[in-house]
Amino acid sequence: MVKSFLTQHNNETVAKESSVKSEPKDERVPLMMETSLLDEIDGYRIAHKVWSRGEAIRKLVKLGLEKEMPVSAGE
């Protein structure tokens, strides 16, 4: 189950999602990227009402993995 509620951040209203039964986010993955890529991630974050940049990156990684490595119906 996912709860959504609105929060004010940088003068823009975005939805914050919290999963009731989610895995703990206890692994750090430091990485460097171009400013232009961060701008695109921030654009995605605002367009999809994602609360944080980290959450937006996690969502984009999951979407990319689902597209590149789809799970077959039998698994």
Model confidence over 10-30: pLDDT tens digits? 444 444 444 446 788 889 999
> Is 54 within a domain?
yes
* CB neighbour class for 42 (10 Å; exposed up to 12, middle 13-18, buried from 19): middle
> Is 21 within a domain?
no
> Is 2 within a domain?
no
> Is 66 within a domain?
yes
> Is 58 within a domain?
yes
DSSP secondary structure code for residue 71 in this structure: P
Domain that holds residue 67: 28-75
> Is 5 within a domain?
no
> Is 8 within a domain?
no
Confidence of residue 74 (pLDDT cuts 50, 70, 90): low
> Is 3 within a domain?
no
Number of domains in the chain: 1
What pLDDT digit, counting tens, does each position of 28-68 carry?
Answer: 999 999 999 999 999 999 999 999 999 999 999 999 999 99
Please give the model's pTM, rounded to 2 decimal places.
Answer: 0.63
